[in-house]
Amino acid sequence: MSAPIYLDCNATTRPAPQVVAEMLDALQLAWANPSSTHGPGQVARRLLADARARVAAFLGCHGAELVFTSGATEANHSAVLGALAAARVGRAPGRRRWVLSAVEHPGLLALAQRLAEEGLPVDRMGVDAQGRLDLAQAEALIGDDVALVSLMGANNETGVRMPLHEVATLAHARGALLHVDATQLAGKTPVDFDASGADLMTVSAHKLGGPKGIGALLVRQGLVLPPLLSGRQERHRRGGTENIPGIAGFAAACDLAAGTLGEDIARVQALRERLEAGLRTIDAVHLYGSQAERLPNTSCLRFGTLDAEQVLSRLERAGIVASSGAACSAGGTQPSHVLLAMGESALQARAGIRFSLGRETTPAEIDATLAAVQRVIVPLLDPQPLAA
Ligand code: PMP
């Protein structure tokens, strides 16, 4: 059986051969502990320093601002728990509140729910029907008691981008820190931590062609947070022997993405437009966020109110893989929290599916996807009357 057409790049991406090669080299040649002072340890240490510089260059931060983590979920937890603890233990004891958007990644929302149950004041900023942040509500919620504001750079389900600069200004005017989950930005659009206004930024290698289990938290210079994992590595900011092969793969992925990002954006966006132009010819298709500023690769839509699971399984049998909302909640019949926040009904929010294109997507794959939609989905929408 031939490989399916993969349109689920917001869930994860395939590591390029160069990424795999650098990881293999790291496993074979730089296997020693980078904290060891002997020769083999120094080989690993040099690899770590070199990789840090490459990842930092890609993300527009200083090497000293970059803390390697096991991925975005850990970086998010580290940012939030660290920032809240820093406010509690020193910076400003009266600042306890955490404000985040209602459409954050499920891992961050689960942390918010847990902390709220433990008594932390937590507020969620809403979005409009296009998935854009409600800035007036954000302004009302970000008061002087806020320690931290968390806002994703772009939503993983809809691709809708968030107003980072505006929210940075609001947060800083009130003395709060801004944490940006840039997991879906990195690799799809340029990321410049220095210019972003964020104090803390989360990224994950596997969304940009790197391996899983490695990511980073960027911490603005001068900001000191208690670590989530204590230990001497990463300047005492993240304990645990460094994942050298993962870090090598992360750096290789950043180099590759940096080399082609400009062309990739234009090409992927043109393919997304080709896909959406074809989908718009189907009356029952409702595209989400089409009026909003979006990532170039993401298309979120529903076919009437056909259940996403049914649509996805039919598409997969036709050789196309996509996703419903966050992959992490796929498999369940839970409506998408993002679409609910945009004002959709539970029925509509269970119908949302996402095509997310990548660097490797071809025009032929888009045409094959549109043909498959006509073949296996459209008949469900508009059943032909049986011949007499
Ligand atoms: N944040 C966002 C916006 C994401 O899309 C994801 C991946 N689904 C994560 C966090 C979690 O990333 P990781 O797999 O690296 O923990």
Residue 148 host element (H or E): strand 146-152
Tens digits of residue pLDDT in 63-73? 999 999 999 99
Instruction: Classify 286 as helix, strand or coil.
Output: strand
CA of 73 relative to ligand 1 center, distance in Å: 6
* Residue 368: partners with Cβ closer than 8 Å, 6 or more residues away: 5, 319, 320
Q: What is the pLDDT of residue 89?
A: 79
Q: Where are the beta strands (DSSP E) in 46-132?
A: 66-69, 97-101, 122-125
CA of 285 relative to ligand 1 center, distance in Å: 27
Residue given tokens 């029925």 in the structure block: 347
Atom of ligand 1 nearest to the CA of 104: 3
Task: Provide the Cα torsion 61, 67, 72, 74; round to 10°.
Answer: -150
Helix ranges restricted to H, 204-243:
233-236
Q: What is the pLDDT of residue 263?
A: 96
Query: Which band of pLDDT confidence, cut at 50, 70 and 90, is reported for residue 94?
Result: confident
CA of 183 relative to ligand 1 center, distance in Å: 6
Atom of ligand 1 nearest to the CA of 73: 16
Distance between CA atoms of 248 and 53, rounded to whole angstroms? Answer: 11
Instruction: Answer whether residue 190 shows pLDDT above 50.
Output: yes
Q: Domain 17-256 is in which class?
A: alpha beta
Query: Are 376 and 315 contacting, i.e. CB atoms less than 8 angstroms apart?
Result: yes
DSSP state for residue 254 in the 8-state scheme: H
Tell me the best of 8, 77, 105 to mutate to test the pocket of ligand 1, counting ligand atoms within 8 Å of each CB and taking the most: 105
Q: Please, which residues bridge with residue 216 across strands? A: 68, 203
CA of 26 relative to ligand 1 center, distance in Å: 25
Pocket, ligand 1, Cβ cutoff 6 A:
71-73, 105, 107, 152, 156, 181, 183-184, 204, 215, 326, 328
Is the pLDDT higher at 94 or at 29? 29
CA of 158 relative to ligand 1 center, distance in Å: 14
Q: What is the pLDDT of residue 229?
A: 97
Tens digits of residue pLDDT in 194-214? 999 999 999 999 999 999 999
Atom of ligand 1 nearest to the CA of 215: 15
Hey, which residues are catalytic here? Answer: 328
Task: Tell the residue nearest (CA) to atom 12 of ligand 1.
Answer: 72
Query: Which band of pLDDT confidence, cut at 50, 70 and 90, is reported for residue 326?
Result: very low
Tokens, residue 309: 């699971």
Atom of ligand 1 nearest to the CA of 154: 3
Size of the chain in residues: 388
Query: Are 152 and 181 contacting, i.e. CB atoms less than 8 angstroms apart?
Result: yes
Task: Tell the residue nearest (CA) to atom 9 of ligand 1.
Answer: 72
Query: Which band of pLDDT confidence, cut at 50, 70 and 90, is reported for residue 225?
Result: very high
What are the residue boundaries of the structural domains of the chain, listed by start? 5-11+260-379, 17-256
- Select from 3.40.1180.10, 3.50.50.60, 3.90.1150.10, 3.40.640.10 the CATH code of 5-11+260-379: 3.90.1150.10
Task: Tell the residue nearest (CA) to atom 8 of ligand 1.
Answer: 11
Task: Tell the residue nearest (CA) to atom 7 of ligand 1.
Answer: 11
